[in-house]
Amino acid sequence: GLDVYLIDWGYPSRGDRWLTLEDYLSGYLNNCVDIICQQSQQEKITLLGVCQGGTFSLCYASLFPDKVKNLVVMVAPVDFEQPGTLLNARGGCTLGAEAVDIDLMVDAMGNIPGDYLNLEFLMLKPLQLGYQKYLDVP
Task: Please give the positions annotated as active site.
Answer: 51
Distance separating alpha carbons of residues 56 and 1, to the nearest angstrom: 26
C-alpha dihedral, 93 to 96 to 97 to 101, nearest 10°: -60
Give which of 67, 29, 27 is closest to 46, Cα–Cα. 67
Q: Taking the mean position of all CA atoms in its chain, how far away is CA 33?
A: 17
Task: Tell me the C-alpha distance between 58 and 70, whole Å.
Answer: 11
